Amino acid sequence: MTKSRIGIVGFGTVGSGIYKILSSEVDSHPILKEIEIAKIAVKDLYKKRGIELDDNLLTDDPFKLINDPSIDLIVEVMGGLDLAKDIILKSLKSGKSVVTANKAVIARYGEEIYETATKEGVYILSEAAVCGGIPIIEPLKRSLKSNSIRKMVGIINGTTNFILSKMTNEKADYNQTLKLAQTLGYAEFDPTADVEGHDAADKISILSELAFGGKIKRDKINTEGISKINLKDIEYANKLGFEIKLLALSERRKVNSNNSLPLNIWVGPSLIPKSHPLAAVEGVNNALLIEADPLGEIMLYGPGAGSGPTAASVVSDILNIHATSIKKNNSIDPLLSFDFWRNCHIIESSQITKKNYLRIICLDSPGVIGKIGDIFGNNNVSIESIVQLDASADKAEIVVITHEVNTGKFEKSKKEINSLKEVKIIASQLSCI
């Protein structure tokens, strides 16, 4: 088994999430066991971390990791600009591939970093830098490559979406909700980057470079944040049928004479009709709509920040790089190929558990709902709701929604209900999620 030894710089929200994934015994692909954490660099060696950790793993000198020849790959999840850039470039120059979650560095120094990696024949991967746990960078680099991207628009900052959702749904206070986002590990070290839109601008800059192939002047992105939005704006927008979201947009316009592709890129708080798919994106979730030819429109959606989701993206990048080292040893890339690695079987249909919807047409006679409820109760089928609709002289419709229950017990209940003298027919049965 080829192992990759990694050095992690930073052990905060994201770094500790990476450690948890790589040291957990959760049932996951065996390739994860091929990644070994060699060293972790932190700022404060004496900080209480609430995680059981071998003290020998820690150092307060990130450059020790770069200079250690036994370490194959550096993971930069420290954040910040100058030191992080230095660590990334020095790692690449020492022949080590780098995985980073640092959008601020990639958005500003991407060109120099990508060129250095190519020159040194190593990789720089940054899936976690944009939209935390949602795969966006790899799809743009690979799966969507056969398309011409027309437009990307989305919610790409978790902190601000969390704040706006809480202000909308709970009339929550802006400052208190920002503090909560910091406690939950969503916000940047300096949350000004989130609330003033700079974090989203970094991300749309990175996405635009990948989608359209040209260098983006990061400072030219027109950027506005949410710090001036108040509950009145949200209330009025809602009355008019809109949600307020912090949007980032990037779209191509017609090529002009000097053959440079004109791009319309901005970040700003925006009104979205409630019927629009982005309006339903709540809390720390992010979503990006991509319009492309010939594909059409797709939406990528999921958690945009937080320890576990972001760490999962970082670990996927680590595995992608690890897979290339396996290939060098003349074997096939285990992430591009597929090998069965355990036995699976489908459980008997009577043992399946699911939520159910049942519409029963019966006589509108006293006690019928009670009888139906009793049958479900006697069979240990828990009911979420039971209502009578459309009662008329000769019939009533009863709709039952169960909790997630054993299908065998549900089917037995159904048979018993069907045999009640008051029941005319079970008109429909559907699954619920």
Catalytic sites, residue numbers? 203
Tell me how far, at minimum, the Cβ of 230 lies from ligand HSE, in Å: 20
Decide: is 78 part of the binding site for ligand NAP (CB under 6 A).
yes
Per-residue interface string for the shown chain with ligand NAP, residues 168-207, x marking contact by CB under 6 A: -----------------xx-xx------------------
Interface pick for ligand NAP out of 18, 37, 41, 281 (rule CB under 6 A): 41
Range list of β-strands (E), 314-365: 353-362
Find the radius of gyration of the CA atoms of the chain.
Answer: 27
For 81, the 3-state DSSP assignment is coil
Decide: is 83 part of the binding site for ligand NAP (CB under 6 A).
yes
User: By CB under 6 A, how many residues form the interface with ligand NAP?
Assistant: 30
Nearer to ligand HSE by Cβ, of 218 and 252: the residue is: 218
What are the tokens at 277? 């798919």
Stretch 179-218 residues interacting with ligand HSE (CB under 6 A): 186-188, 194, 199
Partners of 355 in the beta sheet?
432
How far apart, in Å, do the first and last CA atoms of the chain sit?
42
Instruction: For residue 71, give the nearest of 62, 80, 79 by alpha carbon.
Output: 62
Stretch 330-389 residues interacting with ligand NAP (CB under 6 A): none
Tell me how far, at minimum, the Cβ of 155 lies from ligand HSE, in Å: 9
Distance CA 352, CA 411 (A): 11
Distance CA 239, CA 413 (A): 45
Nearer to ligand HSE by Cβ, of 196 and 199: the residue is: 199
Instruction: For residue 219, give the nearest of 270, 261, 265 by alpha carbon.
Output: 265
Distance CA 365, CA 385 (A): 19
Nearer to ligand HSE by Cβ, of 7 and 132: the residue is: 132
Helix (H) or strand (E) holding 231: helix 231-239
Stretch 94-113 residues interacting with ligand NAP (CB under 6 A): 101-103
By the criterion CB under 6 A, which residues form the site for ligand NAP?
9-15, 41-44, 47, 62, 77-79, 83, 101-103, 128-129, 132, 185-186, 188-189, 305-306, 310
By the criterion CB under 6 A, which residues form the site for ligand HSE?
132, 157-159, 186-188, 194, 199, 304-305
